Amino acid sequence: MRRLFELGKSRVVCYMPAYNASGRIASVIGNISAEHWDFIDVLLVVDDGSVDDTAAIVIGLKRKYPKIELVQHPHNLGYGAAQKTAFRWALKYGADAVVMLHSDGQYPPSFLRNMLAPLCESADVVGGSRILYGDMRKGGMSLSRYYGTTFFTKLENLVFHQSFTSYHSGYKSYRCAALKVIPFEKYSDSFNFDSEMIVGAIRAGLRIVEVPVPTIHGKGYSSLKPVPYCLSVLHTILRYLFGRI
């Protein structure tokens, strides 16, 4: 029988991959409202080998926010690797669900409830969609990134036989039961990890729901490099076509 998920009753881990995030992580955590802290059991920060003051800032914040836990990688392993660490931690902790919050402020904490709410129904995976929210360009997204995102989403829908509006949002939540059937350990350590997780969920026959989230772009909000990322997306598509993912 499917286990019920209820906000405030189920165990939720909000996890934050962080790499050299000292400039924004304090304000992101500070913007988590009391309402959201009520249903977050643990705020897990995975410091991915930062060489700035990220870890020290998080340790200092723990005095004010005791639900914070910090895990540190000895060196930079990658965005996907940070998520794998968070998933392992949450599964060992016995969490019912996880929701990701970026440490650079690209996704507002005020949407955490929206990201978890579909799990209370029948969703296994929730993806934030900036397209559903409105014109991504009004949120500061460059034209090249806008058209690239649009092109790859259409291509992926064609290949995966889906009708999603976005594969490339970093605002995600998962039932932990889904993490047990998606082979995330086999996926990349790069920024393409989010897309691979969606493909894995499709392969596993899980229910994926999209919710609108705003676009927040600008200088310093992301370290993603467009050309390597596009190549990694193409690689994922090819692996899917040849039954490798």
pLDDT tens for residues 149-179? 788 889 999 999 999 998 888 999 999 999 9
- 216 is a domain residue: yes
* 137 contact partners, CB below 8 Å, separation of at least 6: 143, 146
Amino acid 235: pLDDT? 79
The pLDDT mean for the chain works out to 89
Cβ neighbours of residue 138 under 8 Å, at least 6 residues apart?
215
Going by C-alpha positions, the residue among 236, 213, 239 that lies closest to residue 118 is 213
pLDDT digits (tens, 9 = 90+) for 9-46: 999 999 999 999 999 999 999 999 999 999 999 999 99
Identify whether 7 is part of a domain. no
Please say whether the beta carbons of 21 and 114 come within 8 A: no
Residue 225 lies in a domain: yes
Q: Percentage of the chain surpassing pLDDT 70?
A: 89
The encoded tokens of residue 94 equal: 């016995």
Inside any domain, residue 1: no
Whether 224 contacts 193, CB under 8 Å: no
Q: What is the pTM of this model?
A: 0.89
Q: Is residue 142 part of a domain?
A: yes
Q: Is residue 2 part of a domain?
A: no
In a domain, 139, yes or no: yes
Indicate the number of domains in the chain.
Answer: 1
> What is the token pair recorded at 19?
């790499």
| pLDDT (tens digit per residue) in 54-97 | 999 999 999 999 999 999 999 999 999 999 999 999 999 999 99
| pLDDT score of 167 | 86
CATH number at residue 28: 3.90.550.10
